[in-house]
Amino acid sequence: MNILKINNLHTIAEDDHNQKILKGLNIEINEGEVHVIMGPNGSGKSTLANTILNSPRYIVTDGTIELSGEDITNLSTDKIAKKGVFMSFQTPEEIPGVSLAQFLKSTKTSITGQKPNLYQFTKEVDKYMKELNMKYETVNRDFNVGFSGGEKKKNEILQMLLLNPKLAILDETDSGLDVDAINTVSKGINLYKNEHNAVLIITHSTKILKNLKVDKVHILVDGKIVETKGSSLAKEIEENGYSKYIK
């Protein structure tokens, strides 16, 4: 069954209607699959991620986005999140005055519609923080304030594990990380991954893929997917770049 199905998606920039970004993009991701999108800078990778969550920065002019058979193209971002879509950011935001613990509880409550059992939730947070090599005292710090780049990215993966969405979109979660942090992020993805959910990874690097079972790699150029193959395609790009796909 499809978790995500995108058909003939066209988008323009909200602040420049003449700027066409996605130009007829098609992709299907089934339950239990890990898909990777790679492509040169400016090809539309982050636009795709943000459009799935209906960011106001982009306007869909044609096409549809379906989640488990339901058209979510025009739903608000909060409703899409509650349907089961999670996205990690290239540059996670800092929220002074709100602790990580407060943020996690509030987010869990918003997504599920009910407050989590405090004992069980604390136990679950502790378990995942240990798996991600995060110091537990981090939960009392302001959300991402003073966090290193690696800590911020691990925090994104922690949220994904706690929210357990249908579809996790990871937009360059590996950027700027050292080898140990990349391995930890990969570990978190494997902890999350099961036969009923799906992962869409947007990346420039193959390092995060080395410990993952990748089903398909897509090459995105100038707003369209121009090639789709198995995991070997990522290695091909690492060795030869995108020149053969750029006209």
> For 47-73, what is the mean pLDDT?
97
Q: pLDDT band for 97, please (50, 70, 90 cuts).
A: very high
How high is the pLDDT of residue 70? 97
Chain segment 127-156, per-residue pLDDT in tens? 999 999 998 889 999 999 999 988 999 999
SS3 at position 123 = helix
Instruction: Look up the pTM and report it.
Output: 0.94
CATH assignment at residue 157:
3.40.50.300
Rounded distance, CA 64 to CA 6, Å?
A: 6
Q: Does position 195 have pLDDT exceeding 80, yes or no? A: yes
Residue 247 has pLDDT above 90, yes or no: no
Residue 83: CB partners within 8 Å, gap ≥ 6?
A: 67, 70, 72, 75, 166
**pLDDT at residue 174, rounded to an integer:** 83
Report pLDDT for 49.
Answer: 96
Query: Residue 47: is its pLDDT beyond 90?
Result: yes
Mean pLDDT of 4-19: 95
Q: Are 38 and 237 in contact (CB under 8 A)?
A: yes
Domain count within the chain: 1
Predicted confidence at residue 181, as pLDDT, reads: 87
Determine contact, residues 215/34, Cβ cutoff 8 Å.
yes
In this predicted structure, what is the pLDDT of residue 176? 79
Q: What is the CA radius of gyration of the chain?
A: 18
The domain in which residue 153 lies consists of: 2-245
Residues 223 and 48: their CA atoms lie apart, in Å, by 9
SS3 label, residue 97? strand
User: What span, in angstroms and rounded, lies between the C-alpha atoms of 149 and 97?
Assistant: 20
Residue 91: count of CB within 10 angstroms of its CB: 11
Say how many CA atoms lie within 13 Å of 67 toward its Cβ: 23
Token pair belonging to 121: 């939730």
What's the chain's average pLDDT? 94
